[in-house]
A and B are shown apart, each in its own frame.
Chain A
Amino acid sequence: MAVGVGLAEATGPVIALIAFSALMPILGYIEGKLKYKYLTGVTASVGFSFALIYLAYFLWRYWGLLAKGNALTSSFPIFGPPLGVEIRVDPFSVFMALLFAGLGFLVCVYSIKYMEHDTGLDRYYAMLLLLVAGMIGVAIAGDFFTLFVFWELMSISSYSLVSFRKYRWEPIEAGFKYLVMSDLGSLIALLGISLLYGHAGTLNFTALSAIFAKLSNIDRLYGYAILMLIFVGFGVTASVVPFHTWLPDAHPAAPSSISAMLSGLVIKAGVYAIARGSFMIFAPWTFDYGSLFVIFAIITATVANIMALLQRDVKRLLAFSSTVNIGFILFGLGTAAYALHLGASTTVAIMGLVGALMHILSHAIGKGLLFLAAGSFITRAKTRNIYELQGAGRAMPWTGTAFSIGLLSLSGAPPLAGFVSKFILLMAGYSVGTAFMNVATSLMLVNSVLAAVYYLRLIQICVIRPRGEVAKGLREASPVIVAPLVVLMIALIVIGCYPWPLLDMAQRAASALLP
């Protein structure tokens, strides 16, 4: 059921972030006059905290309604649904928006000190604010038109952020590659959206799901074509394997704070768009795409795992491991769709979706933490080679501890967040009970173990081994850099030990996704 709210009320965080980003050029000018180089960074952090506090207030005020399975909608008075713009907030949107704003705030605080030697910081923070505004917009969009506009806002800011340090060769090449691949992906998705409009005459999610629920066989074929276009288009940003090649180049080239944003959030926005585009519109009991998702998930995880095992560059290794984890999230979505198409009970499907959502959360926090910690190592040590970073964790104890906790969480060690999500995912896979799912889940289990191999090797080299040549002269990073790491580390431990409130929220978000 839809409950109407005011437009300004629903889009509050997006408006706040865009307003703060418009403020940045003026502040950059004042900063130049004042010779105080932290002004833009501190103001941008205030902007992020505004968005975060507003979302928390929104959640507190409307949680009663949202928890009952309602969606909050709002639109312009003249160009409204089913044709025009609609903002639609359901538990899944709030879940993702809180994640986007929270990690965005921590990355912004980290950037204050991390980026202090770069020039053009007003542009950097303006782009960072627009990036998060775009992602929150994607999460609260109620139709494909709004989703596409915010999607491009997000994409364009992330292209320019990847190539921010354009005086070196690497960001330019990686940024160009990312731009070409990701823009082609957006165009393919837009082609899918246009075919969707041509068939249904509307782009509204709820209206579309009603239209695609009753179809003849020819139309079903058309539906599969659209589904493939949307999956491929958003899959480029989500880095599903045949389309993942931009990711291992873009992550090492970008500043570490931006790698954390890309790996933690931008590729999750791709997964979000895939989940919305498939589950909301193409009902899983009519369309059979679950097995396809599962097969793509296995290919993604396996290929990326093998590539990650071969890497010596710490950021490139972490980038491949992001692709592995996208495989796990896609596996959760695929399990849910497969179980629903098979006619199994909804409980299994909800379990798969909850696993996917929890893995989105735990991987965003964990991989954000790892990239920020790696950035902290790299700024001090001036190298990305893991063998040259030998023992750096001993020289920088806080960063080293956070780095190890993040790696342990991603490898699925029990008291941490990664264990909860991987356990639910694999349990959901085994409870479907068909031979295909049993084999697939076992393959994912093997992949999980393979991933643990290089995570533990990274801990062994960077933290446990005695200090190498480079690590001898290192000292701990500044407290402003360490504070976000510690917050993320505590979040991993708390979620691992006491996941029940988040599991409850994820469960409501999962039921919101099913029509």
Chain B
Amino acid sequence: MELMSPQTYMVFSIILFVIGVCCLVSQRNMIKTVIGIEIATIAVNTALLSLGLMRAEALGLASQGPTVEPLAQVLAIISMVIGGLVAALALSLVVDAYRHYGTLDLKKLRRLRW
């Protein structure tokens, strides 16, 4: 089976990161903000994996079957776990905010001054 080249994965992960940040900046709903963070996390994980593949190609490991150095994948797994933790914490804050205000609209929440 022909895989996509790692460079394509890298390009798509950069696009995904931009989508995540745009979602973070533009959306008014708190849960959508959390989704934006999650998309950005996934983008970074994909970038790590594709860079690991590129590295394997550069070293010539790919000719010996699908072998990569473990570091990128370990870091991606750790980053997934951390992303899950952050999402749980953020959603618990969202629940508290909803109990307080009865709304998830960030514009109505902004009582903090600059």
Contact = CB atoms under 8 A, between A and B. Distances in A.
Chains A and B bind each other? yes
Given A176-B90, A180-B24, A197 B71 contact: yes
Contacts of A156: 82, 85-86, 89
Contacts of B89: 156, 159-160, 179
A184 B24 contact: yes
B86 A203 contact: no
Given A172-B100, A194-B47, A197-B51, A180 B33 contact: yes
Interface string B56-86: 0001000000000111101100110010011
Nearest to B51: A198
B112 to A, nearest CB: 5
A142 interface: no
A170 B111 CA distance: 8
A149 interface: yes
B40 A172 contact: no
Contacts of A187: 17, 37, 40-41, 44
Task: Report the interface size class on chain B.
Answer: 35 or more
Contacts of A190: 44, 48, 79
Given A84-B71, A187-B44, A197 B97 contact: no
Given A172-B93, A187-B44, A191-B17, A197 B72 contact: yes
Interface string B16-58: 0100010010000010010001001100100110011011000
Contacts of A384: none
Q: Is the interface of A mostly helix, strand, loop or mixed?
A: helix
A245 B114 contact: yes
B24 A194 contact: no
A488 to B, nearest CB: 29
B54 A191 contact: no
Most chain B CB atoms below 10 A, which of A84, A190, A249: A190
Interface string A155-193: 010011001001001101111110110011001001101
Contacts of B109: 173
B86 A179 contact: yes
B51 A194 contact: yes
B69 A176 contact: no
A175 B93 contact: yes
A242 interface: no
A322 to B, nearest CB: 16
A201 B69 contact: yes
**Max chain A CB contacts within 10 Å: which of B17, B40, B110?**
B40
Interface residues of A, number: 38
A167 to B, nearest CB: 9
A173 B107 CA distance: 11
A170 to B, nearest CB: 8
Contacts of A149: 78
A148 interface: yes
A29 to B, nearest CB: 22
A22 B97 CA distance: 29
A290 to B, nearest CB: 29
Contact of A176 (B24, B59, B82, B93): B93
Contacts of B24: 180, 184
A79 B69 CA distance: 11
Nearest to A181: B24
Given A156-B82, A191-B47, A194-B51, A180 B37 contact: yes
Interface string A179-220: 110011001001101110110011100000000000000000
Nearest to A193: B75
Nearest to A202: B71
A148 B51 CA distance: 18
Contacts of B52: 197-198
A200 B41 CA distance: 22
Contacts of B112: 170, 173-174, 177, 249
Contacts of B37: 180, 183-184, 187
Contacts of A84: 71
Nearest to A191: B44
B64 to A, nearest CB: 17
A193 B51 CA distance: 11
A152 B82 CA distance: 7
A190 B82 CA distance: 12
A83 interface: yes
Contacts of A191: 17, 44, 47
A100 interface: no
Given A177-B112, A179-B86, A187-B44, A194 B72 contact: yes
Contact of A163 (B54, B74, B93, B111): B93
A195 B90 CA distance: 27
B94 to A, nearest CB: 8
A178 to B, nearest CB: 10
A511 to B, nearest CB: 30
A175 B40 CA distance: 20
Contacts of A166: 93, 96
A133 to B, nearest CB: 16
A145 interface: yes
B97 to A, nearest CB: 5
A184 B69 CA distance: 27
7 contacts: A145-B71, A145-B78, A156-B86, A163-B93, A170-B112, A180-B90, A184-B24
Given A173-B109, A194-B44, 13 more contacts: A79-B70, A145-B71, A156-B82, A159-B89, A172-B93, A176-B94, A180-B24, A183-B90, A184-B37, A191-B17, A194-B51, A194-B75, A197-B55
Interface of A: 79, 83-84, 145, 148-149, 152, 156, 159-160, 163, 166, 169-170, 172-177, 179-180, 183-184, 187, 190-191, 193-195, 197-198, 201-203, 245, 248-249
